[in-house]
Structure 1
Amino acid sequence: MGAEKYQQMMYKRMQTNFLRWRERESIKEKEVYAFLHQLKGTAGSIGLHGLSAIATEKLVNLSETSELEWLKEQWTMYLSPLIEALSFYETNHHSGENVEVVQSLVKSDMSKEFILIIDDDMVFIAYLKSALEKKGFSVIVAHNGKRGIELIYEVQPALVFLDIALPDIDGFSILNSIKKIKKDRTFIAVMSSYHNKENRIRAYALGAMDFVSKPIDEDILFAYVTNRLAYRKELEYAIVIDELTQVYNRKHFEGKLKILIERYKKIGEMFTVAIIDLDFFKKVNDTYGHLIGDEVLKGFAVLVKELKREQDILCRYGGEEFVLLMPNTEVDEAYLLVEKIRQAMEQKAFIANDTMFHVTFSSGLMGVNEHYMHSKKLLEAADRALYAAKTTGRNRAVCFDLSIEYMKKQKQIKVIVIDDVYIIRDMLTKHFEELAQHDEAIAEVAAFNDGFTFLYSGWYDENYKYIILLDWMLPNISGIEVLKKIRANYSSKEVIVSMLTGQTGEKYVLEAFQNGADDYIRKPFQIADVSSRILRLAERIF
């Protein structure tokens, strides 16, 4: 009982420290060092060995006297395992406002933009990934060109570091592909030791923003990344047109929605918002390729612009999802317009490889009223109506009303643990089951002790997304073989796979990523670290 008392005191001290730092724009590295140094000794003495181990690991990279300034997003990312541990302690022992504050720190970087490294040099890529993550950046890697192109489509990274010499596709070919698709203003920097004049000219001609020579200087690299991400954010605020579809983007939509809400509050002018989602769009990409998928998105945008009224505002909300703002329009009138567009889309023919196919959409509509005149509530209502349209057969428009007002939206993520070691399987399962009670996204957790049982369990349901924690060493069939079978049918947009292994050596890391793993976690591991890493990746990709 005495130990528990001091453990409570330790968690309280951690919480106070994090909340105090949260009020400041930045803290010094030496403050982080002092905090971790104290935690290392005290936590281990009172039985919190997990916290002590995390502190010990984190201290290795820090200087006791460093005056380096750490921004909030940097220290919350670096200390995320401790923040996560505190969050779970608070969830299990208390409730209330403090829990929400701590959990907000855990999730503060969930939507952080990704940096993608496409390179086959395992030593360099491990070094670069580690260096960037220590500074708070979110990094994913691809060890060949094919996987790199897939991740550009699936994750839509903010910044890509691209090597010229790759085992399957040279970097220039990737640059040419990116130039054709022009995905979301992704910034491409060629990073290569082949930095002769001809390669630099060719890289710039194909659309690379920069050419970074190897070997690199860490300080210059960090300054460069910070500069480019800040510049990209400025562009996002300045540009209101979606580059691919040539309709307005999400930023413009959010601004227009606020204006319409204010007009309703002042003069009572009605408006309706419709969320439109193309049905089974992934199958289009999988069957015909991403370039044809882009043509479908552009074709849909052209169709809507032809049929909508001049006053209506079409915006690309994200991926295959659009919103149509209809000013001075009651819901019934808006429904007729959306139905007209839906029927026209149903009849529109697309052609790929001499094959004709059709694409439909589902839509949810909501009109502003005195109970729904906040942007979040309006969009939630329209989204519930969209969910109703999807669950009742798709290819239809549904208006939000009292019959679906309290419809609970289905949780979207299932977590699967595949490991033949009972202790690890049980620990992970219980952790995510506990998390599912508090997380609106996680639907359920399942566990398997071998790969064959999992593969033949009928585990996949297209209505869900999946996080799979997959052990490398399994009886009968290896985790890598299970990974290959998963990737033969599902991309990272449907299934995130994190390999768990006690294997050492870079060849194992390389093999995992080459076969489509999204993350690689070595045993022994801290469960809080596993959770925060996977959930950050899931939030971004899903």
Structure 2
Amino acid sequence: MDNARYQQMIYKRIHDYMEKWSQTPFVIEKEIYAFLHSLKGTAGSIGLPQLSVLASEKLSSLDMQSEKQWATAEWHDYLAPLLVHVETDQTNHTSMPIIEPVVQTHQQTGEQEFILLIDDDIVFISYMKKILEEQGFSVMVAYNGKRGLELVYEINPTIVFLDVMLPDKSGFHILRNLKSIKKDRMFVAIISANDSDENKIQAYRMGAMDFIAKPIDKDLLIAYVHNRLTYKNELERSVILDELTQTYNRKFMNSQLQKLIKQYERHAELFSIAIVDLDYFKKVNDTYGHLIGDEVLKGFANLVMTLKREQDIFCRYGGEEFVILMPKTNSEGAYILVERLRKAMEVKFFTANNTSFQVTFSAGVAETMAKNLHPQKLLEQADQALYKAKQSGRNQTIVFNYLAEIIKKRVHIKIVVIDDAENIRELVVRYFEKLGLNDEFDVEVMSFADGVSFLQASWYALGSKYIILLDANMPEMDGIEVLKQIRQQYKSRDVIVSILTDREEDELVLQALENGANDYIIKPFDIADVSNKLVNLINRLFV
């Protein structure tokens, strides 16, 4: 990836700092420390190693807590070698454009792993975000610790990159809170330009999985993410068996169900699912004890494993409930298989205290079709058929009848575009009106020319979910003010907000992330790429 764009961004940021400091009578030493600390890590990451070394050298003489006041002449003389290097390097690269079009080269893959970046350096997080998104990962960013913690709750990221120095709270404070959350298999990596042993020890003792020193090498970052995700997948694969019955467990069943759905989408390979529930199992436990009950569960599992076909996937769903996934099998074939199992179980005898007894089961079957192509929908349909089997006297198999289903209210998704550019509004409205997501969602598209008319409109309806594309620069009321009012009432679980901006390094991006924006989109944009990103968020947060 070409680093020129990010190098020009960091040069501009240095210039902005110098200009701001020149307009004040003095600068506090801890402000200079924070500036150099950030520069040290970011410059090395984006291909400016000499600038990183200079920042590191100057940093070594400063105290991060010092309130000492530096007059203009003092700090200017102290930073002179660094400023001369910047001016020289910029002169040698005057042909490099500050802004380049962002070209998405990666392809969207099925289920995305979320990666969260918590850092107050917009150049650094923009650089990391671009690298990771080019690899096909879904990346969200937080500019301060407060927003970072909110996003951990809202999106359940797999990997969190957490900077030590943040504008509101230290990274270690955030790490302590993350440890108390105890998200399942969430990897937290501390990133900092200060890789002292003291910081590393504190990070590891507080539960961080890794400590990564800035500057960060692109190839190392990519390798790290792939390594952690592979490790996570291996952990999950190592815990796929139910301890009692030695059949697959519910987690594995869910993953296999997802795979079968994808095969149906790609190759139209239908399959069926059955939920099986042992009849009156509580009575077995109450009469013969839980140890005998366990023997019944194991005996039933052995029977199914012996009689099922090789391609069938048999899983314990929970308690006395089991699920059978039957690839390349329609509902008629599934019924025949389950009935064969039911009749075998019906004549099987169990023994307790010199007494023989029998246990039967009821089953519900559902077949895949375009209208139910979702894990929860398939399970619900099989469960409805199972309920009818139990209500009809138990010890029988019933196939779900789609035509008899009571139609449930679908999730209502409203995509709202707020932009004073008419062509942007028309582009988004036309695209999403034609798109359609799936049978789980009703999609409605709304547009507003300014934030005032949006806030005055009755746009929110309880029970709906919202994706808001919000222009950062609008007349009367800018996007940041609109965003603040949205976040005063609505969380990301109901309303996702993505800021539209013309410049990636614009200060508005920082304000937007700070005030609760979920993402930002750079204009001009490819509407298909925006659509892929939004659909992924919808499936991840609203399903």
Q: TM-score range by the shorter chain?
A: 0.5 to 0.7
- Show the counterpart of 2:173: 173
Separation in 2, partners of 1:384, 1:140: 35
Separation in 1, partners of 2:149, 2:239: 25
Contact 1:110 1:540 in 2 (8 A): no
1:146-165 to structure 2, matched below 5 A, reads 146-165=146-165
2:451 is the counterpart of 1:488: no
Separation in 1, partners of 2:422, 2:378: 43
1:233-244 to structure 2, matched below 5 A, reads 233-239=233-239
Separation in 2, partners of 1:518, 1:229: 23
- Show the counterpart of 1:137: 137
SS in structure 2 opposite 1:488? helix
- Show the counterpart of 1:327: 321
1:64-83 to structure 2, matched below 5 A, reads 78-80=105-107
- Over 3 Å counting, the alpha-carbon distance change for 1:165 and 1:453 in structure 2 is same
From 358, 363, 366, the counterpart of 1:368: 363
Contact 2:410 2:440 in 1 (8 A): no
Aligned-partner residue type, residue 192 of structure 1: S
From 377, 400, 409, the counterpart of 1:380: 377
- Show the counterpart of 1:432: 432
2:520 is the counterpart of 1:531: no
Separation in 2, partners of 1:131, 1:256: 30
Shift of 1:151: 1.0
From 273, 277, 292, the counterpart of 1:271: 277
- Over 3 Å counting, the alpha-carbon distance change for 1:458 and 1:382 in structure 2 is farther
Separation in 1, partners of 2:216, 2:365: 58
- Over 3 Å counting, the alpha-carbon distance change for 1:272 and 1:253 in structure 2 is farther
Aligned-partner residue type, residue 116 of structure 2: L
- Over 3 Å counting, the alpha-carbon distance change for 1:254 and 1:129 in structure 2 is closer
Separation in 1, partners of 2:520, 2:275: 54
SS in structure 2 opposite 1:483? helix
SS in structure 2 opposite 1:453? helix
CA-based RMSD: 4.0
SS in structure 2 opposite 1:412? strand
Count residues with an aligned counterpart. Answer: 340
1:193-232 to structure 2, matched below 5 A, reads 193-232=193-232
- Over 3 Å counting, the alpha-carbon distance change for 1:475 and 1:159 in structure 2 is same
Q: Deviations over 1:5-59 (max 9, x none)?
A: xxxxxxxxxxxxxxxxxxxxxxxxxxxxxxxxxxxxxxxxxxxxxxxxxxx9578
Shift of 1:419: 1.5
SS in structure 2 opposite 1:132? helix
1:340-351 to structure 2, matched below 5 A, reads none
- Over 3 Å counting, the alpha-carbon distance change for 1:174 and 1:485 in structure 2 is same
Shift of 1:511: 1.1
Separation in 2, partners of 1:444, 1:541: 18
Separation in 1, partners of 2:430, 2:226: 38
Shift of 1:212: 0.4
1:256-335 to structure 2, matched below 5 A, reads 270-271=276-277, 326-327=320-321
Separation in 2, partners of 1:478, 1:241: 54
- Show the counterpart of 1:348: none
- Over 3 Å counting, the alpha-carbon distance change for 1:130 and 1:218 in structure 2 is same
Q: Report which stretch shifted further, 148-157 or 439-448.
A: 439-448
- Show the counterpart of 1:112: 112
Shift of 1:327: 3.1
Shift of 1:453: 2.3
- Over 3 Å counting, the alpha-carbon distance change for 1:371 and 1:135 in structure 2 is closer
Separation in 2, partners of 1:143, 1:237: 35
SS in structure 2 opposite 1:477? coil
Shift of 1:237: 2.1
SS in structure 1 opposite 2:364? coil
Contact 1:384 1:404 in 2 (8 A): no
Contact 2:240 2:252 in 1 (8 A): yes
- Over 3 Å counting, the alpha-carbon distance change for 1:416 and 1:194 in structure 2 is same
- Show the counterpart of 1:36: none
- Show the counterpart of 2:188: 188
- Over 3 Å counting, the alpha-carbon distance change for 1:241 and 1:207 in structure 2 is farther
- Over 3 Å counting, the alpha-carbon distance change for 1:456 and 1:115 in structure 2 is same
Aligned-partner residue type, residue 471 of structure 1: D
- Show the counterpart of 1:456: 456
Contact 1:496 1:538 in 2 (8 A): no
Aligned-partner residue type, residue 500 of structure 2: L
SS in structure 2 opposite 1:203? helix
Contact 2:493 2:541 in 1 (8 A): yes
SS in structure 2 opposite 1:476? coil
Separation in 2, partners of 1:114, 1:483: 23
Separation in 2, partners of 1:463, 1:176: 34
Shift of 1:198: 0.9
Contact 1:122 1:506 in 2 (8 A): no
Separation in 1, partners of 2:255, 2:540: 23
- Show the counterpart of 1:122: 122
Separation in 2, partners of 1:496, 1:410: 19
Contact 1:416 1:445 in 2 (8 A): yes
Contact 1:237 1:251 in 2 (8 A): no
SS in structure 2 opposite 1:460? coil
- Show the counterpart of 1:516: 516
SS in structure 2 opposite 1:415? strand
Shift of 1:125: 1.2
Aligned-partner residue type, residue 508 of structure 1: L
Separation in 2, partners of 1:312, 1:459: 53
Separation in 2, partners of 1:119, 1:269: 47
Q: Deviations over 1:303-359 (max 9, x none)?
A: xxx9xx97999xxxxxxxxx8564389xxxxxxxxxxxxxxxxxxxxxxxxxxxxxx
- Over 3 Å counting, the alpha-carbon distance change for 1:200 and 1:382 in structure 2 is same
Contact 1:110 1:535 in 2 (8 A): no
- Over 3 Å counting, the alpha-carbon distance change for 1:479 and 1:328 in structure 2 is closer
Shift of 1:504: 6.1
- Over 3 Å counting, the alpha-carbon distance change for 1:504 and 1:132 in structure 2 is closer
Shift of 1:404: 5.7
- Over 3 Å counting, the alpha-carbon distance change for 1:481 and 1:494 in structure 2 is same
Contact 2:472 2:508 in 1 (8 A): no
Separation in 1, partners of 2:322, 2:503: 63
TM-score scaled by length of structure 2 = 0.55
Separation in 1, partners of 2:113, 2:529: 19
Separation in 1, partners of 2:410, 2:510: 36
Identity value in percent: 46
TM-score scaled by length of structure 1 = 0.55
- Show the counterpart of 2:541: 541
Aligned-partner residue type, residue 271 of structure 1: D
Separation in 2, partners of 1:58, 1:484: 28
- Show the counterpart of 1:445: 445
Separation in 1, partners of 2:110, 2:380: 21
SS in structure 2 opposite 1:251? helix
- Show the counterpart of 2:265: none
Contact 1:470 1:497 in 2 (8 A): yes
Separation in 1, partners of 2:509, 2:275: 58
